[in-house]
């Protein structure tokens, strides 16, 4: 496999990401004392930063690899929307497919960290299903773009963007145009994605949705995959298994060990995986090779604190060592 040529081909692809868009805010500081008012730590703030999260982080990862990326979703009409829009533009993502709903807050997760350890998280969000107006907006914008797309990612965080109506219509539209659909699911709409191309749950999501206790060993995962694939009728299953890596299920099973790179923070690793998988599928790679590259990409972002996009140079180096070393 010519890695440089493959990565160069990614820049010719156009990927749509539809799902729950978030603003991630990080407050970094140091804890040296307990509050005299309540027995809680006092964080002396050193600096703050803002990043794109959720479906927006998927889009950032795809865009970082050079692909043309369209991001579809919902925000509020508050100050956090302005911050979100500014970050999107700074990453080369347009805001024309972002529906501003005055009845909802922009989803914002504020994480407080001391010496790179998470102390607390503050969430501003709505989990209500998107309004019919928002769903219609996304559907119309997707239908206008569908003819130029190489793949679609549906990124679900149970925040209401991916309603059953939007899921059903997206799968139908994609099927009519021969566009592959990759899904990163959550429990609420887990079985609404029947007929998708690639379905990427993690182990706990499978266990919860099948109503079973699931051990993290190959035999148990294979049995769960067969049960899940019979329900979903998807082409490929890619199951992320934390320290055990990944399992790919189609007409066979492929178990991919986790990378041995040092882990600082797993935040956003799943977003990176689905983003890289979408590029591999769009480029015509087999799912096993795509999953191996996605596994390496996740390992590189786990070396950083907070959700960060994949670094193409680091990923190329990791791929050289893995495939050619």
* Among the listed residues 320, 307, 324, 319, the one whose alpha carbon sits nearest the alpha carbon of residue 91: 307
The torsion angles phi and psi of 271, rounded to 5 degrees, stand at: -65, -40
Residue that the structure tokens 């081909």 belong to? 9
156 catalytic? Reply is no
Separation between Cα atoms, residue 13 and residue 249, nearest integer Å: 25
Separation between Cα atoms, residue 219 and residue 296, nearest integer Å: 24
Separation between Cα atoms, residue 183 and residue 129, nearest integer Å: 18
Catalytic residue among 150, 271, 286, 313: 271
The torsion angles phi and psi of 231, rounded to 5 degrees, stand at: -85, -35
The torsion angles phi and psi of 250, rounded to 5 degrees, stand at: -140, -100
Burial of 20 (0-12, 13-18, 19+ CB in 10 A): buried
Output the CA–CA distances (angstroms, integers) from residue 323 to 64, 92, 248, 262, in the order listed: 22, 31, 18, 20
Q: What angle do CA 133, 168, 232 make, to 5 degrees?
A: 150
Residue 217 DSSP class: S
* Among the listed residues 94, 235, 92, 68, the one whose alpha carbon sits nearest the alpha carbon of residue 149: 68
Active site residues: 271
């Amino acid at each position: 496999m010519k890695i440089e040529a493959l990565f160069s081909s990614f820049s010719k692809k156009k990927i749509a990401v539809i799902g729950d868009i978030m603003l991630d805010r990080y407050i970094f500081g140091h804890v040296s004392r307990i509050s005299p008012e309540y027995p809680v730590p006092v964080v002396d703030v050193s600096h703050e930063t803002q990043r794109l999260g959720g479906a927006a982080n998927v889009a950032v990862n795809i865009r970082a690899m050079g692909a043309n990326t369209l991001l579809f979703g919902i925000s509020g009409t508050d100050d956090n929307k302005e911050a979100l829009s500014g970050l999107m533009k700074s990453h080369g993502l347009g805001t024309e497919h972002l529906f501003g709903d005055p009845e909802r807050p922009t989803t914002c997760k504020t994480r407080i960290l001391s010496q790179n350890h998470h102390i607390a998280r503050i969430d501003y969000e709505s989990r209500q299903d998107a309004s019919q107006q928002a769903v219609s907006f996304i559907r119309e914008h997707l239908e206008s773009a569908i003819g130029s797309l190489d793949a679609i990612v549906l990124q679900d965080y149970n925040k209401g963007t991916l309603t059953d109506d939007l899921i059903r219509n997206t799968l139908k539209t994609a099927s009519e145009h021969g566009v592959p659909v990759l899904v990163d699911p959550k429990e609420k709409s887990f079985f609404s994605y029947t007929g998708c191309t690639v379905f990427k749950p993690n182990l706990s999501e499978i266990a919860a949705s099948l109503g079973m206790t699931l051990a993290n060993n190959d035999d148990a995962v294979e049995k769960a995959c067969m049960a899940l694939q019979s329900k979903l009728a998807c082409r490929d299953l890619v199951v992320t298994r934390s320290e055990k890596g990944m399992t790919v299920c189609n007409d066979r099973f492929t178990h991919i060990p986790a990378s041995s790179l040092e882990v600082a923070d797993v935040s956003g690793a799943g977003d990176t995986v689905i983003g890289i998988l979408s590029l591999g599928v769009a480029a015509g790679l087999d799912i096993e090779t795509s999953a191996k590259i996605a596994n390496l990409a996740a390992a590189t972002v786990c070396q950083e604190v907070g959700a960060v996009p994949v670094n193409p140079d680091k990923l190329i180096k990791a791929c050289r060592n893995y495939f050619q070393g």
